[in-house]
Amino acid sequence: MIKRILIVTGVAAVVAVGGSLIHPFGTLGAPGNSQSVLREAQIDPETLAIFQRACQNCHSQQTEWPWYSHVAPVSWLIARDVQQARSHMDLSRWQDYSNDDRLRLLSEIGTAVRNRQMPLPRYLLLHPEARLTDAERQQVYRWTRTERSRLWMHQPQATPLQLTGELRVAIGQEVTSAIERSRLSVHHELPDTSEKKQRESE
């Protein structure tokens, strides 16, 4: 009986170690990457600290990998979640997003945090320190609105259409021709009242 238990334990250990060497979603990165988050954003230190505590572990290159993230199959699930989170929004690459992408992401952040959709409940089970108070949720939401307004103000304005002299002449000629065609069409459609009156007099 003891021999059987030892065999099962040994097999389980081999499977766990072997599985830990397999990374279907890519090799886990080193914890605490030096790349900062939300670069080029105007954000106060208090709000930035909230992002660092509640968001960057999945949505940046600053992921802190716990010990169980190196044990299969848990490691596969965690790596998949982080990969999907980064593909949707990577706060370490904020400066690489276009202005339109930043506006869209800010809107999504504000909505998700205010409606308690983020951080994910299952994440909070293992990371209670990421739980946000109502005041912190409002703080993040107000910042997203402020930052969106700032980006809107710096949005490039479309330059008015400049028409060259030749183009203005061509457009004018086309408009004149269209008016003439319309006048002739109306003229041909009108009945000949003089002929009608002559038939009536007879």
CB under 8 A, 24+ apart: contacts of 8-13: none
Number of domains in the chain: 1
Residue 114: which domain range? 12-153
Q: Which residues of the chain have pLDDT under 70?
A: 1-35, 157-172, 175, 178-202
d(CA 130, CA 128): 5
DSSP one-letter code for 159: P
2 in a structural domain: no
- Cα dihedral 106, 110, 111, 116 sign: positive
Give the pTM. 0.63
Residue-wise pLDDT tens digits, 56-102: 999 999 999 888 788 887 888 889 999 999 999 999 999 999 999 99
If you search the block for the tokens 């499977």, which residue do you land on?
Answer: 15
Calpha distance 184→199 (Å, rounded)? 26
Residue 189 lies in a domain: no
Q: How far apart are the C-alpha atoms of 174 and 169, rounded to whole Å? A: 9
Q: Is residue 169 part of a domain?
A: no
Is residue 198 in some structural domain?
Answer: no
79-82: long-range contacts, CB 8 A cutoff, minimum separation 24: 79/23, 79/24, 79/25, 79/26, 79/28, 80/25, 82/58
pLDDT value for 72: 80
Q: Is residue 52 part of a domain?
A: yes
Question: Distance between CA 169 and CA 189 in Å, rounded?
Answer: 31
- Asked whether residue 184 is assigned to any structural domain, the reply reads no
User: Does some domain include residue 136?
Assistant: yes
In a domain, 132, yes or no: yes
